Amino acid sequence: MCRMSAARVMLPASTIFTNEYRRLVSMCGPPGWAGPHGRRRTDRRRTASVAQVITRADYVTPNAYLPPSLGRITFTGTRISLLAKIPLATLLHSSLSKSDNAAFFSFRRTSMTHAVDLVADLGEGFGAYTMGDDEALLDVLTSANIACGFHAGDPRIMDATVRRCAEIGVAVGAHHSFPDLVGFGRRAMDLTPDEVRTDTLYQMGALHAFATAHGTGLRHIAPHGRLGNLVATRPDYAEAVAGAVASFDRSLIVLAQDGELADAARALGLRVGIVGIADRAYRDDGTLVPRSEPGAVLHDAGEIAERTVRMVTEGVIHTVGGRDLPVACDTVLLHGDTPGAIALARRIRAELLTAGVRIAPLNEVLDLKADATVGSA
């Protein structure tokens, strides 16, 4: 008899399936099961077969929850109700022996697809002025950084952008910045760390109100423009932003480049998503080439797509100094305010999928990577 509860799962790995993969999963039955032609499969082979099924990008990733369409699953003819959302890795871990778990995680490390979040800066108009085609860009994204009124955006734009994200399931994040409407947040400002902290709190609170009104919530924060550059190198600004997030909502993910903000957020126990910027040039030290310098923004769609795929699948970015620099990338930032931005965003998404990369919300990407790290320990 197979039992399932919200607290404990006891399911043979062979019971996880959908109709599309019933044939594959039927090859990895319970212990003692005789396969085609009477051959019996070992637990190790059975584990690998299940891992192969659940790592298919068009089914569900190893860290993901059972999809809503699987309201019930079948085990030897018995109908079993799902009483809780249970990560598949937990499901397998609870039902396999120690040696089988090792085989499963070893298989998964070598065969699972890469995953990445796609995010863009939205809601950056002001009053009668618009910037970018947010509606078209939303079709490509899994997350959105929404301007909070300091560098762009206003209450009506924030409301409409959050509402649309809630309708289509795109994760909402606060895109906070220096109070610089005239300079679009791209100018350095001589703020104190406490001003940075309180400005960050103010902007998160404003966007949170709209998220609550539309039945969703904030999922992340992402510093904009010059503030985003400075928090990567200035510990005082980084600690101010991380402290604001920790005091507001510790479940928020901090989007950042590798640097001071990422370190400060981790020191406070916050989750960090490392941002790879698709159309920006990188220096040898991992920082972005300033927009004021020639070549800071890339325009060749083929080059940008190729760099993005390498960044996600190989973990490297080619710098202006000619180096292949090792980089982490949990989310790819797509810009929507440049010529040809929508076509470029669609091409990047298509080429990532062609390369076997799964496009997923940031929290799922981070869960997958954390789970893989635990499995390899």
Q: What is the pLDDT of residue 196?
A: 98
Q: What is the pLDDT of residue 113?
A: 62
**What average pLDDT score do residues 213-224 get?**
97
pLDDT at 374 over 70: no
For 317, list phi and psi in degrees, rounded to 5: -135, 135
- Quick one: pLDDT band at residue 111, thresholds 50, 70, 90? very low
- Rounded CA-CA distance 158/154 in Å is 6
Q: What is the pLDDT of residue 260?
A: 96
Rounded to the nearest 10 degrees, the angle between the axes of helix 155-168 and helix 193-213 is 60
The mean-pLDDT minimum among 18-32, 119-133, 159-173, 197-211 falls in: 18-32
pLDDT at 182 over 60: yes
Q: What is the pLDDT of residue 165?
A: 96
- Quick one: pLDDT band at residue 375, thresholds 50, 70, 90? low
Query: What is the DSSP code string of 272-319?
Result: EEEEEETTB-B-TTSPBPPTTSTTSB---HHHHHHHHHHHHHT-EEE-
pLDDT at 131 over 90: no
The mean-pLDDT minimum among 135-139, 285-289, 335-339, 340-344 falls in: 335-339
Cβ–Cβ under 8 Å, residues 222 and 174: yes
Q: Quick one: tokens of 341?
A: 């931005």
Q: What is the pLDDT of residue 347?
A: 94
The DSSP bridge pattern shows strands 3-4 and 358-359 to be unpaired
Query: What is the DSSP code string of 26-56?
Result: TTS-STT-B-GGGPBPPHHHHHHHHHHHHT-
The mean-pLDDT minimum among 66-70, 176-180, 212-216, 371-375 falls in: 66-70
The CB-side HSE value for 79 (13 A sphere, CA atoms) comes to 4
- The larger pLDDT score, comparing residue 245 to residue 28, is at 245
**What average pLDDT score do residues 76-101 get?**
38
Gyration radius of the chain's alpha carbons: 23
pLDDT digits (tens, 9 = 90+) for 258-289: 899 999 999 999 999 999 988 899 998 888 88
Give the start-to-end residue ranges of the domains of the chain. Answer: 3-111, 115-376
Q: What CATH superfamily classification does 115-376 receive?
A: Glycoside hydrolase/deacetylase (3.20.20.370)
- Rounded CA-CA distance 321/349 in Å is 27
- The larger pLDDT score, comparing residue 176 to residue 296, is at 176
Q: What is the pLDDT of residue 234?
A: 96
Amino acid at 38: G
- Rounded CA-CA distance 81/265 in Å is 39
Q: What is the pLDDT of residue 4?
A: 36
- Rounded CA-CA distance 307/2 in Å is 48
**What average pLDDT score do residues 349-359 get?**
94
Q: Please choose, from the candidates 141, 249, 137, 227, the residue with its C-alpha nearest in 3D space to the C-alpha of residue 177.
A: 227
Q: Quick one: tokens of 80?
A: 């079993």
Q: What is the pLDDT of residue 292?
A: 84
- Rounded CA-CA distance 266/262 in Å is 6
Q: What is the pLDDT of residue 263?
A: 97
Kind and range of the H or E run holding 221: strand 218-221
**What average pLDDT score do residues 130-150 get?**
93
Report how far apart the first and last C-alpha atoms of the chain are (Å, whole number).
Answer: 32
- Rounded CA-CA distance 346/282 in Å is 23
Q: Please choose, from the candidates 121, 55, 119, the residue with its C-alpha nearest in 3D space to the C-alpha of residue 308.
A: 119
The DSSP bridge pattern shows strands 143-147 and 171-175 to be parallel
Q: What is the pLDDT of residue 130?
A: 87
Cβ–Cβ under 8 Å, residues 12 and 2: yes
Q: Is 329 helix (H, G, I), strand (E, B) or coil?
A: coil
Amino acid at 56: R
